[in-house]
Amino acid sequence: MSLRLSCPSCGAEHTLHNPGITVIVCDNCDTTLYREEGILRAGTKSIVGEPASNLAVGSTGQVGDRMVTLLGRIQFQGTASTWDEWFGTDDKGREVWLTEDEKNYTLERALPQALPGASPELPIGAELTLASRRYQVDERGEARCLGGEGQLSRPIRPGEQYRFIDATEINGSTQLSIEFSPESPAGVAFIGRDIPAAQVVYAPQAGAALKTPVEQAATLRCPNCGGSISLPSQEKPALTVGCPYCSSVLHLQGAEARVAAKNAKAAPFAFNIGARAELMGQTYAVMGRLMYRTGPWYSREYLLYSEKAGYRWLEESDRHYTLLKPTAIGPLLSDVSGLANKKKIDIGGKTFQLFESGRATLVYVDGALPWLAAVGESNQYFDFIAPPKAYSMEVTKGRELERFIGDYIPPMTVYEAFGKKENYLHPAEAGAAQPNPIGFTRKIAALLGGIFCIVNLNLALITTGSGTVLTRVSSTDFSEELESEPFTISDDAKVIGININTGTDNSWVYATTELVEANSEISVGAVGSEVSYYYGVEGGERWSEGSSDSSRYLKAPPPGEYILLAELEGDRTVPVSIVLTEGDQLTRYPLILALLMALIPVGIIYMYRSFEKDRWDEED
């Protein structure tokens, strides 16, 4: 049965929609009422601003895969933004909380008890465990409760300061948020998951106009020089704006704009604020530009915005580009701190290598950014690569850990997308996440080249060795002509070999061999071969040149009986033996083919390794 209670301030009656309700904000007098032992005690006034969306207390709508009725709202103000936390019940009667920060939504439920080990002092990267799931603290900060409306299941005190920590499941999808207050020093923990804005569907209240996600003036006057600055339309309100006239960096809070810093000088960028480009199937506009310094090197970032895809970051380094988006997936900060370059780590089921880590300092900013960016502010970063994939972790002020994942985009593709093809400059070095040009096709070519090389080497081994001996002549007397016994060249003979073996010793021998038909004594061909071998000692080192053997291969004459004739000459007589063979296998052809085939994998491997050396040498 429902319970009706009266407001002690104005007498208005309220029907409790849920037995767990502990706080009611009177919609008649805005008094915060606390339910204690069946009665309502009046607290302070609760004045909150209008919600940025069409969500409203009392409305029912679709949140992911369930229907949620909204019973109350708490509004908090942090350092850089204001957000709402909606209390309600789903279609199964369970209490839920829907956090709305601009167009980012998280559906949560409160845990019945405090989380052991939770503390507002936990550093970024600290680990928490809940139901065997590991979480990493990625943000901590403070927020002031502005007030609330409707009915709530937790105590609030308008004006009270809260501390909080947000954690993300390691390589998972759930979020953990813990709020600390004087009433709950041990912290109230909430667990949930992000819900895409397209899956949060609430109809506007009757008579209410459809609200835009962000309402911000289209122009801003610079408090330093008085120049009129146009603010682009985007999903979140601009909090940092660069004045194009006086180079001031402005911070916007509410209707107030103040000069937070000044850019030292204009920085060179390839693409202008407001420029549009189609990248990876989405049309983006440049909202802001940032330049970071790491030691003596500089890198640039473009904040892009698309109505369909939201925000993306286009990183430029050494004329190479990577398009990144936020992600909750990632390793523990403690696992990457102190990790050496090239070391591998698993991120979301994919193996990445640490490419670079260090500290980067923001030295220039312009455009309109939906966060407070301070020139001179530095962050710790860890960049990983698994080309063409890139992954980055950034820790800012020791209070927030952000993760980004994205893809390498060829520089020419980026310039063409922005219509700046005529300004394109080819990168001088390999890019961090640039895919190695030795891709799948070339790797297959290297594999096939290696296979054919092995095949031809085997053919060379198979064909190694002499053919059948037809005849042999030998002598140590160079004054007489040598003549062999008649021999027969068979029908199958394709090649004959003339193999000359000598005992040359710092000397030379010239042998003229001739084949004649045995019956007609007609010559069918003569061949001259020189054999020389010299050696000695010069300057204390031994040297040698030439060989005491020689082999020649000729096309076999027609089959029949033949005689081998030979004449010898030289600078002195030495033993000489001439052997005539048939059926010799020529190994030089498969060897030449093997060498040519070997050049393919060797060349491809060389190019692959040269590119990787260039990639990592550039990082070093």
Q: Select, from the ranges 30-44, 216-230, 406-420, 468-482, the one with the highest average predicted confidence (pLDDT).
A: 406-420
On whether the pTM is more than 0.75, the answer is no
Q: Which residue has the tokens 């006034």?
A: 45
What local confidence, expressed as pLDDT, does residue 214 receive? 44
- Per domain, the residue ranges of the chain are 3-201, 219-423, 468-584
Provide the pLDDT confidence category of residue 616 given band limits of 50, 70 and 90: confident
Q: What's the residue count for the chain?
A: 620
- How many CA atoms are closer than 13 Å to the CA of 161, on its beta-carbon side? 5
Six token digits for residue 8: 């002690």
Structure-model confidence comparison of residues 440 and 202, the more confident one: 202
Query: With contact defined as beta carbons under 8 Å apart, do 76 and 143 qualify?
Result: yes
Provide the pLDDT confidence category of residue 107 given band limits of 50, 70 and 90: very high
Q: Which residues are 36's β-sheet partners?
A: 39
Q: Report CA dihedral (316, 419, 370, 385) to the nearest 10 degrees.
A: -30
CA neighbor of 464 nearest in space, from 589, 590, 585, 594: 585
Omega within 30 of 0 (cis) for the link into 388: yes
- How many CA atoms are closer than 13 Å to the CA of 545, on its beta-carbon side? 2
Q: Which residues are 150's β-sheet partners?
A: 25, 72
Q: Would you tell me which CATH number, out of the four given (3.30.360.10, 2.60.120.200, 2.60.120.380, 2.60.120.10), belongs to the domain 468-584?
A: 2.60.120.380
Reply yes or no on whether the pLDDT at 387 is more than 50.
yes
Query: With contact defined as beta carbons under 8 Å apart, do 134 and 127 qualify?
Result: yes
CA 387 – CA 352 distance, rounded (Å): 9
3-state secondary structure of 586: coil
225-234, 450-459, 508-517, 550-559: range with lowest mean pLDDT:
450-459
DSSP strands (E only) in 411-559 = 468-475, 482-483, 487-489, 495-502, 507-517, 523-538, 541-547, 549-555
What local confidence, expressed as pLDDT, does residue 197 receive? 83
Q: What angle is formed at CA 409 by the lines to CA 407 and CA 415, rounded to 5 degrees? A: 150
Please name the residues in contact with 560: beta carbons below 8 A apart, sequence gap of 6 or more. Answer: 488, 489, 517, 518
CA 431 – CA 335 distance, rounded (Å): 25
Structure-model confidence comparison of residues 167 and 46, the more confident one: 167
Identity at 459, one-letter amino acid code: L
| Helix or strand holding residue 125 (H, E) | none
Q: What is the pLDDT of residues 147-193, one digit of tens each?
A: 888 888 888 888 889 999 999 988 778 999 999 988 888 889 999 99
Provide the pLDDT confidence category of residue 234 given band limits of 50, 70 and 90: confident
What local confidence, expressed as pLDDT, does residue 212 receive? 42
294-298, 528-532, 564-568: range with lowest mean pLDDT:
294-298
Reply yes or no on whether the pLDDT at 458 is more than 70.
yes
What local confidence, expressed as pLDDT, does residue 464 receive? 56
Query: With contact defined as beta carbons under 8 Å apart, do 269 and 300 qualify?
Result: yes
Q: What is the mean pLDDT of residues 66-94?
A: 89
Query: With contact defined as beta carbons under 8 Å apart, do 492 and 583 qualify?
Result: yes
What local confidence, expressed as pLDDT, does residue 1 receive? 46
Query: With contact defined as beta carbons under 8 Å apart, do 168 and 179 qualify?
Result: no
CA 606 – CA 598 distance, rounded (Å): 12
Reply yes or no on whether the pLDDT at 261 is more than 90.
no
Q: Which residue has the tokens 């698993």?
A: 346
Reply yes or no on whether the pLDDT at 521 is more than 50.
yes
CA 100 – CA 192 distance, rounded (Å): 13
Q: Which residue has the tokens 């709020």?
A: 179
Q: Are strands 560-570 and 576-582 parallel, antiparallel or unpaired?
A: unpaired
State the chain's mean pLDDT as an integer.
86
Provide the pLDDT confidence category of residue 210 given band limits of 50, 70 and 90: very low
Provide the pLDDT confidence category of residue 465 given band limits of 50, 70 and 90: low
Identity at 277, one-letter amino acid code: A
A 10 A CB-CB count for 408 gives 21
